Amino acid sequence: MASPTLTVLDPAQYRRTPWKNGGGVTIDVAGAYRPGAAPGGWDGMLWRFGRTRIERPGTFSDLTGFDRILAVIEGEGLVLHPHGRPPIDARAPFRPVRFAGEWPIMSELTAGPVGVLNLLAHREYYAIDMAFPEPGTPHTVAAGHAIVLALGAARLAIGGREIALAADAACAWESGAPVALAPLHGRVAVARLTLRQ
C-alpha cells in the first residue's frame, strides 16, 4: 500500500458556484478544468466534487457527457425520476447512486429538503466512485486521485499516517498504487477518480 502526500483543503477556500440551471448553489470542494477555462465555470470542466442542498423539487441540470454520483448526507427522502426510466431511490443517507448527466431528471422530496454530495466527471477521461467507509472498518482506496471529506470532525489513518480533519475539511492525494484508509472517528466521504487510458 502507498503512503501518499496529502493536501489539506480548507473549507474557507471552497468556491460557491450557481447550479448550471440556476436553481441553487454548489459548494465546490475540489475540481479540475481544461487549460484556459475559468475555474468554477461549466465550460471546460473536467470533474467536480462538492455539496449542495436541494430545497424543493425540480429538474436537474443537463450535464451531457458526464457521469454523476450523488449521495444524501443530510435529511432523507430524495427520489430521482429520469424521463423514461425507473425511479432512482436515493432516500437513505450515505448510499451513493449513479446516473448519466444527460438524463432528464426531476427530483422528488418525500421528507423535506436534503443535503447531498455530488461527484461528476467527463466520462471520456475519468471513471468515478464514491464511498462512505464506517468508522473502525479498514477501507482500500484504489489508485488514482482521491478526496476525503469530513462530514463532521473526523480522525483517520491514511497510508499509515494519522490525520485529524475539522468538520467540512478535506484532504486529497494522487497515487499510482492503492492506499489504505482507516476511519478512526467520525463520518467521511471518499471520492475517487481514475484517469481512463
pLDDT, position 117: 98
pLDDT, position 118: 98
The DSSP call for residue 13 is: G
pLDDT, position 38: 87
162, amino acid identity? E
CATH of 127-195, one of 1.10.3720.10, 1.10.1140.10, 2.60.120.10, 2.40.160.40: 2.60.120.10
Q: Could you please report the per-residue DSSP string of 146-192?
A: EEEEESSSEEEEETTEEEEE-TT-EEEEEESS-EEEEEEES-EEEEE
The CA angle 69-188-171, to the nearest 5 degrees, is 90
Q: How many residues in total does the chain contain?
A: 197
CATH 2.60.120.10 fits 15-124, yes or no: yes
pLDDT, position 45: 95
Q: How many other β-carbons are positioned within 10 Å of the β-carbon of residue 33? A: 17
pLDDT, position 3: 87
Domains 15-124 and 127-195 are alike in CATH topology? yes
Domain ranges of the chain: 15-124, 127-195
**Residues 99/78, Cβ–Cβ less than 8 Å:** no
Q: How many other β-carbons are positioned within 10 Å of the β-carbon of residue 197? A: 3
Burial 62-76 (b: 16+ CB within 10 A, else e): ebeebbbbbbbbebe
C-alpha grid cell, residue 50: 462538492
CA distances from 11 to 30, 76, 97, 100, 146 (A): 10, 24, 25, 28, 17
pLDDT, position 157: 96
Give this prediction's pTM.
0.94
**Residues 163/156, Cβ–Cβ less than 8 Å:** yes
pLDDT, position 39: 86
10-residue mean pLDDT profile of the chain (197 residues): values are: 90 94 93 92 94 96 97 96 97 97 97 97 97 93 97 95 96 96 96 93
